[in-house]
Structure 1
Amino acid sequence: MRLSLVLVWLGAAAACGPGRGFNPRQQARRSYPLVFRQHEPNYSEINKSASGPAEGRITRHDEKFKDLVPNYNPDIDFKDDEGTGADRLMTQRCKEKLNTLAISVMNQWPGVHLRVNEGWDEENSHGENSLHYEGRAVDITTSDRDTSKIGMLARLAYQAGFDWVYYRSRSYIHCSVKTESSVGTGAGCFPSGAVVHTETGPKDIAALRKGDRVLAADDDGKMIYSEVLTFIDRDPNVTREYIEITAENGVAITTTASHLLLLASAEGWRESFAASVDVGDVLLTRGRGSVMRPSRVVHTRVLTKQGVYAPMTKAGTIIVDDALASCYALVKSHSLAHAAMAPLRWMATWSGSNDLPRGVHWYANALYSFSEFVLPTSYKYP
């Protein structure tokens, strides 16, 4: 019964499309404003249970500068006093949370936009260990500068997934996020160079396009070709931490820690986050005909690779690097995630556009953020 209710909530959360469809006000029990000088959670910003300690200032000449991404969301106003575009630069995680918050602001106050007063700082205008120097913090208000909205804006920011929110000033709030490497970021992905199998032969996942048919598995665990409908996450330029899982038959799948893999079990398959796969677990790997072949895991390791790709197939599964995976992440139930993503599959089918999204798809981002409040802890990525 509880899971049925969760599905109803998840479906309702994003049933109406971008911008005005995802409505945080449905969470009435959580929608009280923060008070002046309150912060959520009730730890210091640098606590590991909040955004975590500073890792070092990023300048335009640093190697890490390439990890900062610009935010050109038209529903967000950027102050940009410096005229350099610095306030638009931030980590991918910060961008995702900010874009989710922008949707909430438009729902809460029609006609009002989110406004960013300060983003990445390259002018040393903050304290020594400020997360602004790493692109992990933003100071925000609303486009109408209505100070009576600041407390509720702080609450909406926390609901949108910021890891630390501080009602710091009567005129703005301060928000920050954890580092990319400390969390299962994005929607769960595969790197450039991961191999999928199309009807015409093997293909780099980076070269996949909407409409391609790739090897996957049906509900009975039989290999089939399934159409790629869209991408839940796609960005060729970012670098991310991955887990490589190697089986005794030589198959090695590389994916993010929060991605769901489908392992062999007596019932056919069971779900496991990649980070939870241990030596001795059994991957389902590409075999002959329509039959998958189980192979025991013998080694795992963490590595860094370029690019993130999370194709969504009609079947909801995909065989990558010859191992079976779900198309989903962050929620430890393939069937639940597949049901919750049904509206996205319908939208992708109806859309005549072949344009590929960049970054986490808005629907998935809103859905994952909403699930933080309604899913039992046992179903969430740690």
Structure 2
Amino acid sequence: MKQSWWASLAPLGLLAACTWLGVVQGCGPGPGYGTRSRPRKLTPMRYKQFFPNFSENTLGASGRAEGKISRNSERFNQLVCNYNPDIIFKDEENTSADRVMTKRCKDCLNRLAIAVMNQWPGVHLRVTEAWDEDGHHPPGSLHYEGRAVDITTDDRETKKYGILAQLAVEAGFDWVHYESRYHIHCSVKADKSEAVERGGCFPGWARVTVAGGKQKTLSSLAPGDRVLALSGTGQVIYSQVLLFLHRDQEKQSLFLSLETAGGHRLVLTTHHLMFLDPDCGHREHQAQFASRAKVGDCVLISTAGGQTEKSRIVSISLTESMGVFAPLTEAGTLFVDGVLVSSYALLEDHNLAHWAFGPLRLLHSLDQLFWRKTAKEEQSACTKTEKQFGTLTASDKASINKHDNGSEPLAVKDQEQCFLEISDVHWYARLLYKFACIFLDSNVFQH
């Protein structure tokens, strides 16, 4: 199957579009969709509270310990030193050990330092403990790997520590604990951990509502299907599935499972965008990473009358499942198992992500307009080839494999080509992420 005519031109269009990334801001679907988002009010973390609400060494938080790192170990070379002048390092050992940490920890700490100065002008972030080489912590502590820090503000005003903990969550630390009256404990995943792989999806068994009111699993969903979604004006509509940003039938992944008071259960990866209302009031729902969801937050669910209503989250847990699927709709939203979610992940700005995928939607529309007949013929050819190949006996397949001097049979090549575009991560999403890393502030990404 020949590549669509626009596939070779898309990178040029994307390059032009990405130069304007950052000029678009907005809020999520609901009343006021498309207006400029308001700053989120910080809620101080309570004493002894930790976030997320999992044990530090679980996959949902910072992950298991990988072993103590000493100065003479090979892994020590993977650690970095933090010489940020806006951070005060206690360094009571006079060995600069408090400056030693993983790169991921350093990046989070540097973001937090900026947030502290913005929150309290003239106040700086203070690190009282980072990498531990002297055995002052319990076995298995992430301090031994440079993945944990204990922090305060340099003025040591304990009344600020609840906000400081919340700022640490916002800065991207994978686990934050208001551990002591005198410091906040923060930690991160290992730099090479599988848990920090990029992407955002749903399991294959998750269901959507297609035109006509029938339910369909994401694993059986196909481009061209129309699924229940929410328009930019807040109307419940059926929106066409353009393609899959990520589709992998065999990938085993960790998901968040959120259950609502109305009996809905949404399962998705932590870095996928969903629409949350922390107050369950009359505010518009904001697009946030699923990892930010808390018990008591409200989500939007679809009702039988084609309307939406709020439903409160009553429990959050972790689950593992096979298969990852991320459909892109024309509207940029869809209802998965009755709960409104975004088509996008990784970038915590639904409007910006939807705008950035505009060139892909436009090119898809042009392709449908001018090459609809060709596309139908190719789809028919793919289906025909698949059916023909599926009816072959083992001996038939063996004889085909020997055909053409041992080359791969044409039927297999055609079949693989037909499914090439809907497997793994879509090329446009990969390219867009590379450009976004250049043009956008790293604070808007999932860390």
TM-score (norm 2): 0.47
Partner of 2:446: 381
Q: Does 1:281 align with 2:297?
A: yes
1:327 to 343, 358, 367: 343
Shift in Å, 1:375:
1.9
Give secondary structure in 2 for the equivalent of 1:343: helix
Which runs of 5 or more structure 2 residues have no equivalent in the other structure? Answer: 1-6, 20-76, 82-100, 106-189, 368-374, 380-417
Give secondary structure in 1 for the equivalent of 2:285: strand
2:216 to 203, 211, 234: 203
**Structure 1 pair 22–178 and aligned structure 2 pair: CA distance change class (3 A):** farther
d(CA) in 1 for partners of 2:245 and 2:316? Answer: 25
Partner of 2:103: 49
Q: Percent identity?
A: 33
Q: Does 1:17 align with 2:82?
A: no
Written as runs of structure 1 = structure 2, the 5 A alignment for 1:87-166 is none
C-alpha contact 1:41 1:50 (8 A) present in aligned 2:
no
d(CA) in 1 for partners of 2:219 and 2:235? Answer: 25
Equivalenced residues, count? 229
**Structure 1 pair 343–41 and aligned structure 2 pair: CA distance change class (3 A):** farther
Counterpart code for 2:348: K
Written as runs of structure 1 = structure 2, the 5 A alignment for 1:18-97 is 42=80, 48-49=102-103
Counterpart code for 1:250: G
TM-score (norm 1): 0.54
Q: Quote the RMSD (CA, aligned, Å).
A: 3.3
Relative to structure 2, which stretch is displaced further, 228-237 or 343-352?
Answer: 343-352
Higher Rg of the two aligned structures: 2
Give secondary structure in 2 for the equivalent of 1:349: helix
Q: Which has the higher strand share?
A: 1
d(CA) in 2 for partners of 1:40 and 1:322? Answer: 45
Partner of 2:254: 241
Give secondary structure in 2 for the equivalent of 1:268: coil
Shift in Å, 1:227:
0.4
Written as runs of structure 1 = structure 2, the 5 A alignment for 1:330-349 is 330-349=346-365
Partner of 2:307: 291
Counterpart code for 2:10: G
Relative to structure 2, which stretch is displaced further, 328-337 or 349-358?
Answer: 349-358
Partner of 2:328: 312
Which runs of 5 or more structure 1 residues have no equivalent in the other structure? Answer: 1-13, 27-38, 52-175
d(CA) in 2 for partners of 1:18 and 1:307? Answer: 29
d(CA) in 2 for partners of 1:276 and 1:237? Answer: 27
C-alpha contact 2:261 2:313 (8 A) present in aligned 1:
yes
Shift in Å, 1:238:
0.7
Shift in Å, 1:290:
2.5
C-alpha contact 2:13 2:359 (8 A) present in aligned 1:
no
C-alpha contact 2:251 2:324 (8 A) present in aligned 1:
yes
C-alpha contact 1:50 1:178 (8 A) present in aligned 2:
no
Partner of 2:193: 179
Task: Please list the CA deviations of residues 199-222 of structure 1 after superposition, one character each: whole Å capped at 9, or x if unmatched.
Answer: 130001110111100000011322
Q: Which has the higher helix share?
A: 2
Partner of 1:225: 238
Partner of 1:260: 273
d(CA) in 1 for partners of 2:328 and 2:79? Answer: 34
d(CA) in 1 for partners of 2:103 and 2:216? Answer: 41
d(CA) in 2 for partners of 1:246 and 1:196? Answer: 17
**Structure 1 pair 237–371 and aligned structure 2 pair: CA distance change class (3 A):** same
C-alpha contact 1:282 1:295 (8 A) present in aligned 2:
yes
**Structure 1 pair 18–192 and aligned structure 2 pair: CA distance change class (3 A):** same
